[in-house]
Structure 1
Amino acid sequence: TSGSTGRPKGVAAPHEAVTATLTGQDFASFGPGAIWLQCAPLSWDAFALELWGPLTNGGTCVLHPPGRPEPLTMARLIAEHGITSMYLSASLFNVVVDEYPDALDGLSELLVGGEALSPPHVARALARRPGLRLSNGYGPVECMVFLTTHPVTPADLRTGGPLPIGRPLAGKRLHVLDERLRPVPDGGTGELYAAGAGLAREYAGQAALTAERFVAAPSGERLYRTGDLVRRRTDGVLEHLGRADSQIKIRGFRVEPGEIETFLAGHPGVDRAAVVAHPHPAGDRQLTAYVVPRGTPAPTARELRDHARGALPDHLVPAAFVILDALPLTPSGKLDRAALPAPAFAAGTGGTGERAGGAADATVGALRTLFSEILSTPLGPDDDFFRLGGNSLLAARLAGRVRSALGVELDIRTLFEAPTPVRLAPLVDRAPAAVPPPEPATEAGPLPVSDAQQRLWFLDRTGAGAAYNLPMLVRLRGAVDPDALAGALADVAGRHEVLRTLFGERDGVPVRRVLHGTRAAPPFAHEHVATEELESALRETARHRFDLGGEPPVRAVLFTLRERPDEHALLVLVHHIAGDGWSLRPLFRDLSLAYAARVQGRPAGLAPLAVPYAEHARRRLDRLGSPADPGSLAAVQLAYWTRHLAGL
């Protein structure tokens, strides 16, 4: 968990905490068909959610490139891979909704957590994508990912109050207790204690802290004291009311102000320090440090900020430093936080900063305007974005504004390397143009053939025969309805257009044609064979030579044994141009669902794919560009391999 000294506290949890939280649950979709984006750091428990959630339940996980989560990269990965599910911290969610709203297009479900969820941002996200299942998740790392979740409803938004944190996950037990560990009745305020599945064992190497936070109930049950104040409604839903201690949340990180105070007091020019959280003009909460200097000359705010930036993580560096003669105290000698003066967050030099003129200066001027909008203070051309209160989330906002206003793609790392308008301007002038979000393909337009399909079409034309057939054999026992099975196969082909696609030829290159209606139904046969004939019949069927230009690239035969009519062998044959090893599981999952529906006399209910294969192919080809364009990715890659393979 987050440590304010820069040395995080290690939470030791058993593997069972992960499996109990991520299997047998219904708060999110993890099974076949679910595609999750993994972008949380390895040290966060959200990493376990994004990786092990899908991988232990038959879903798929797409990895974000190394480094800070980039909203533009997220948007690209969602579009390219048909990602259905993801998790965002509440602060990053706000940035995405404000600056990159199209990044969430295509998602089916989104879990948001880490700190209080903003109702206005949720309302805007759901207005843009009404079908999105957006859930508010709550849970400290000591309890593994989530203790509770709450799917947000329109009724929640109409109340105008904070959004509920919901009910406990299966296997997790929650108690609302008073200071003597007695139950608090529904509607009353108490501290939340957790028990059951997901509980950690200890803080590694910190026995005293473990004993303080992991306590025994009067019944003997082991509890984790969350430190959060909650109220349980009569319907069992929990509402979060704040903290029972001084711990605060900054951009999803848990922060102990006392640890930052201790660090600042270690500066040779500081006698005492107090740290509190204030709303920042940019819209989020940031830390303010109140410092009493030791002797003269007193350290400046810039010196103290540099001291903090050199040792503390980014989210723990105070955005404002206030120098005081003394800290205000209550009559009992405690810090009087209410008497602390409001901070004046760092301001830039402002001014005109006029230079020689030209395109570069126009860019500097535009960047100064954007910097000032994000930080809510005038900035000069040489003012440092991060010295004036900027952080990684505000940098993500700035990158989004640069994209909208100047039409270029700029990653967050570039902002850290060039944090002033003057230094950033030449990088902006050389940055690639912003790529608009991909538009959905329509069958009225051109239907692209992927590079992999072009290779397989070429190999088929050169006589590959049955070499690229993918036979899938399933042994069945009991009654089987052949008509329902044939109809189910047609339902699956209806969902996966690649299974009803013909590959013809025009001017020496392959062209796609998608079948519809009864012509799209894959060939299906039901044959009765003797036991000794089955193996040869299977081999003969598996060697079928597909006519890629005249028949669908999938077919099936159900073999029933004459001697034992309740024993069957189903052979589904797919040409490699329409599938691969990864395709087998979702194909049979859909076939099973469609068959069960047909037998029960109801519609298959197979939802359309978020990204059909033709759309995936189009986006990939658009990204590669034409080899005739020297600046395209395809031309760059072709030149690379031509150079490295020369002479072989």
Structure 2
Amino acid sequence: MGISTHHQMDFTNRIRKDDERPAIISDGEILSYGRLRDRIDHYADVLAFTGAEAGTTVALSLERGPDAVAAMLATVETGAAFVWLDGAQPAARNRTVLADSGAVCLVTDAGGRGDGLVRDLAGPDLAVVQIDGTATAAVERLGRRRGPRAVPEDTAVIVYTSGSTGTPKGIVQRRVNIDEFTRWFSAEVGMTERSKVLQWAQFVYDASYVEIFSAIGTGATLVMPPPAVKADVHLVLDWIRRHGVTHIQTAPSLYRALFDALTATDGHATLDALRGITIAGEALSPALAQEARRVFPNADLFNMYGPAECILATYHRITENPGDSRTVPIGIPLPGREVLLCHEDGTLVPDGEIGEIRVRSRFLVHGYLHRPEETERAFLADPHGEPGFRVYRTGDLAARRPDGTLVFEGRIDDQVKIRGVRVELGEIEVAVAELPGVLHAAVVPVDGGTGDRQLCAYVQPREPGALSPAELRSALAARLPHAMVPARFVLIDAMPLTVSGKVDKRTLRATAQDPATADRTPDARPAELSATQRKVAGIWSNVLGVAADSPEADFFALGGDSLNVPRVRRAVAETFGLDVPLAAFYEYPGIEQLARHLDELLAADRPAAVTGSAPAPLR
């Protein structure tokens, strides 16, 4: 079955069957560009058979890196758009994304996690394609969904991000935008056919498409660790060294974790093979920039800024020591983009004053799927009336220095970044307020103690004593991704209000900075710890640097996050001789919960626990 090339993105045409250069290095496999082309062609034929074509959407959820990339590119070659579903996210959220995107087909793994996704998500009108790990894709079921086109025909991908109304919103990205950006990006950061690009971002985030499409478009090699490795910076560091990675792009918090892992293993070692380092997704501190210059002595360093609506908007090459500067500039606009700093009414602010960043460009997304009013508010007509140009209101604030570079100055609303992930506080507040027994809820960002941001939820119960932080966290974990579940919960008798009757978040922020408020419930009394609980508490104290002295203590409330979980997992393996899956530490976040789970595993007569032998290496 032939696939039309009319809707292909430019770089896919350059992937040839006779090219034996390595395209993807993954766990146990090196896939050449020629073999990648074979998989793309096969998967595209299967997808076209299910009805994938321009204007339709295909949902992807694959564990293996090479198949994930091949399925993305195959979808592109059918003319369809793709949307990524994360099997680790709550099924309810994936069902929301699937319904909103109007996907005609679900592509997932055969067996295991893939079968679970099919059971959870696939209605009778949805086609199902399963890939069995041997580059074989089979149509398990044909769908009946044949309605109006769900997206514009030139759509490449729909990226779902947090929405202020309480549900995730789909950003409709155009193919020409990705083509234009990846050509500029790969050239600017020095990618060549000899480069090795780390693929670290989760597929649900737009950063992953920058990694994948810039590398494949350049003919470079994409280094793709499996999910368990991506979650542990110590293992990521090993992959960077072992495979000679030359280019990385990620958020400051992950670079910080990477530097900490490097220091823990090799003191003041450097990573000399790196040639291009891109830092984006959060504000970059001068101290972290200075450390990046030391760790990557041979690399060009870039601080970049931009929301998914324009992929990226500005860039700054870090060529000198930032010294005592308050912040690192986000730089100057990318080619094809103009940055306007505006008052609320759209008039320009003078240089040196703070204004909202508005991006004028031909390379903006279509808008938000099925949200015409929100799209109209965010995307404005071009003031010069130039065809193809629009202006995107980012909601971010910046000031322009005398040399023309921009400095980031925060937000004008309740959107925050948690480890590079865009989070609308309103979506979390809606989810908390909808839980049984909750009267009022408010969520504020706080300093996690290591420079990373955390979320603190203030909850007013309908009845005193009717709720607990553990119950609230468990209920939210079933509805929201990990990054959106607050690290702290504080139960209060009454929500502070401003004179206008709105929640007084300034007062809540001031209170939330006090660690004593973490998961506070009235009249809480510490209880005696069991032997297993004492060991768990000791591990947490070593990892987090704080005391954990109560069975009710919660790992995330004490400052833990997804970057600390792998360290706890390794310590549990060393202490108890148990190889515990990462997911268990999210499922059992309390000392009492985790200790009970470990006791159950130890009582199950697992060989490592009975013989006392060393646990198998964690992968």
Q: Does TM, normalized by the shorter one, top 0.5?
A: yes
Alpha-carbon shift at residue 138 of structure 1 (Å): 0.9
User: Which residue pairs with 1:325 in the alignment?
Assistant: 493
Any idea what the Cα deviations from partners look like across 1:579-624, whole Å, max 9, x if unmatched? xxxxxxxxxxxxxxxxxxxxxxxxxxxxxxxxxxxxxxxxxxxxxx
Within 5 Å, give how 1:3-152 maps onto structure 2: 3=162, 7-25=167-185, 26-67=187-228, 68-101=230-263, 105=271, 106-144=273-311, 146-152=312-318
Distance 2:303 2:575 in 1: 32
Alpha-carbon shift at residue 431 of structure 1 (Å): 2.8
Distance 1:273 1:381 in 2: 26
Q: Percent identity?
A: 34
Are the aligned partners of 2:488 and 2:519 in contact in 1 as well (CA < 8 Å)?
A: yes
Distance 1:404 1:117 in 2: 35
Distance 1:245 1:291 in 2: 21
Are the aligned partners of 1:27 and 1:149 in contact in 2 as well (CA < 8 Å)?
A: no
User: Which residue pairs with 2:518 in the alignment?
Assistant: 345
User: Which residue pairs with 2:408 in the alignment?
Assistant: 240
Distance 1:191 1:53, change over 3 A: same
Distance 1:301 1:34, change over 3 A: same
Aligned to 1:174, the other structure's residue is in SS state strand
Distance 2:291 2:575 in 1: 21
Q: Which one-letter code corresponds to 1:97 in the other structure?
A: F
Distance 1:366 1:128, change over 3 A: farther
Are the aligned partners of 1:418 and 1:424 in contact in 2 as well (CA < 8 Å)?
A: no
Distance 1:424 1:152 in 2: 47
Distance 1:412 1:305 in 2: 17
The partner residue of 1:385 within 525, 545, 555 is 555
Aligned to 1:100, the other structure's residue is in SS state helix
- Any stretches of 5+ residues in structure 1 without a counterpart? 356-360, 436-648
User: Which residue pairs with 1:202 in the alignment?
Assistant: 367
Distance 1:107 1:403 in 2: 32
Distance 2:225 2:304 in 1: 22
Any idea what the Cα deviations from partners look like across 1:414-468, whole Å, max 9, x if unmatched? 7447765745697797434699xxxxxxxxxxxxxxxxxxxxxxxxxxxxxxxxx
* Residues 1:179 and 2:348 are matched in the alignment: no
Are the aligned partners of 1:291 and 1:321 in contact in 2 as well (CA < 8 Å)?
A: yes
Alpha-carbon shift at residue 384 of structure 1 (Å): 5.2
- Calculate the TM-score normalised by the size of structure 2: 0.62
Alpha-carbon shift at residue 158 of structure 1 (Å): 0.5
Any idea what the Cα deviations from partners look like across 1:198-218, whole Å, max 9, x if unmatched? 310111111111111111243
Aligned to 1:94, the other structure's residue is in SS state helix
Distance 1:242 1:397, change over 3 A: farther
Distance 1:128 1:24, change over 3 A: closer
Distance 2:343 2:567 in 1: 41
Distance 2:478 2:578 in 1: 32
Are the aligned partners of 1:269 and 1:295 in contact in 2 as well (CA < 8 Å)?
A: yes
Distance 1:6 1:402, change over 3 A: farther
Aligned to 1:17, the other structure's residue is in SS state helix
Are the aligned partners of 1:282 and 1:375 in contact in 2 as well (CA < 8 Å)?
A: no
Aligned to 1:23, the other structure's residue is in SS state helix
Alpha-carbon shift at residue 266 of structure 1 (Å): 1.4
Q: Which is further off, 220-229 or 412-421?
A: 412-421
User: Which residue pairs with 1:484 in the alignment?
Assistant: none
Distance 2:530 2:470 in 1: 25
Q: Which one-letter code corresponds to 2:224 in the other structure?
A: L
Q: Which one-letter code corresponds to 1:13 in the other structure?
A: Q
Alpha-carbon shift at residue 338 of structure 1 (Å): 2.5
Q: Which one-letter code corresponds to 2:255 in the other structure?
A: F
Distance 1:58 1:245, change over 3 A: same
Any idea what the Cα deviations from partners look like across 1:95-115, whole Å, max 9, x if unmatched? 111233469723222212111
Are the aligned partners of 2:490 and 2:518 in contact in 1 as well (CA < 8 Å)?
A: no
- Calculate the TM-score normalised by the size of structure 1: 0.59
Alpha-carbon shift at residue 239 of structure 1 (Å): 0.4
User: Which residue pairs with 1:531 in the alignment?
Assistant: none
Within 5 Å, give how 1:453-532 maps onto structure 2: none
Distance 1:346 1:282 in 2: 19
Q: Which one-letter code corresponds to 2:236 in the other structure?
A: M
Distance 2:177 2:535 in 1: 50
The partner residue of 1:368 within 534, 537, 554 is 537
Are the aligned partners of 1:329 and 1:335 in contact in 2 as well (CA < 8 Å)?
A: yes
Distance 2:274 2:572 in 1: 25
Alpha-carbon shift at residue 325 of structure 1 (Å): 2.7
Distance 1:408 1:153 in 2: 47
Aligned to 2:260, the other structure's residue is in SS state helix
Name the count of aligned residue pairs.
426
Distance 1:349 1:150 in 2: 51
Are the aligned partners of 1:71 and 1:100 in contact in 2 as well (CA < 8 Å)?
A: no
Any idea what the Cα deviations from partners look like across 1:168-218, whole Å, max 9, x if unmatched? 222222211222212223212111111225310111111111111111243
Distance 1:414 1:37, change over 3 A: farther
Are the aligned partners of 1:193 and 1:224 in contact in 2 as well (CA < 8 Å)?
A: yes
Distance 1:167 1:84 in 2: 25
Aligned to 2:414, the other structure's residue is in SS state coil
User: Which residue pairs with 1:488 in the alignment?
Assistant: none
Are the aligned partners of 1:87 and 1:111 in contact in 2 as well (CA < 8 Å)?
A: yes
Are the aligned partners of 1:349 and 1:380 in contact in 2 as well (CA < 8 Å)?
A: no
Are the aligned partners of 2:414 and 2:424 in contact in 1 as well (CA < 8 Å)?
A: yes
* Residues 1:431 and 2:593 are matched in the alignment: no
Any idea what the Cα deviations from partners look like across 1:530-552, whole Å, max 9, x if unmatched? xxxxxxxxxxxxxxxxxxxxxxx
Any idea what the Cα deviations from partners look like across 1:255-292, whole Å, max 9, x if unmatched? 22122222222123111111111112455221111222
Distance 1:413 1:268 in 2: 25
Q: Which one-letter code corresponds to 2:519 in the other structure?
A: A
Q: Which one-letter code corresponds to 1:370 in the other structure?
A: I
Q: Which is further off, 377-386 or 416-425?
A: 416-425
Within 5 Å, give how 1:244-323 maps onto structure 2: 244-281=412-449, 283-323=451-491
Distance 1:404 1:239 in 2: 45
User: Which residue pairs with 1:458 in the alignment?
Assistant: none
Are the aligned partners of 1:289 and 1:320 in contact in 2 as well (CA < 8 Å)?
A: yes
Q: Which one-letter code corresponds to 2:537 in the other structure?
A: R
Distance 2:550 2:496 in 1: 38
Q: Which one-letter code corresponds to 2:402 in the other structure?
A: T
Are the aligned partners of 2:257 and 2:563 in contact in 1 as well (CA < 8 Å)?
A: yes
Distance 2:559 2:577 in 1: 25
Within 5 Å, give how 1:212-227 maps onto structure 2: 212-220=377-385, 221-227=389-395
User: Which residue pairs with 1:2 in the alignment?
Assistant: 161
Alpha-carbon shift at residue 64 of structure 1 (Å): 1.9
Q: Which one-letter code corresponds to 2:546 in the other structure?
A: T
Any idea what the Cα deviations from partners look like across 1:80-104, whole Å, max 9, x if unmatched? 3211001122221111112334697
Q: Which is further off, 177-186 or 118-127?
A: 118-127
Q: Which one-letter code corresponds to 1:110 in the other structure?
A: I
Alpha-carbon shift at residue 142 of structure 1 (Å): 0.7
Alpha-carbon shift at residue 28 of structure 1 (Å): 1.1
Distance 2:579 2:464 in 1: 47
Alpha-carbon shift at residue 76 of structure 1 (Å): 2.7
Aligned to 2:393, the other structure's residue is in SS state strand
Alpha-carbon shift at residue 413 of structure 1 (Å): 5.0
User: Which residue pairs with 1:462 in the alignment?
Assistant: none
- Any stretches of 5+ residues in structure 2 without a counterpart? 1-159, 603-607
Q: Which one-letter code corresponds to 1:32 in the other structure?
A: E
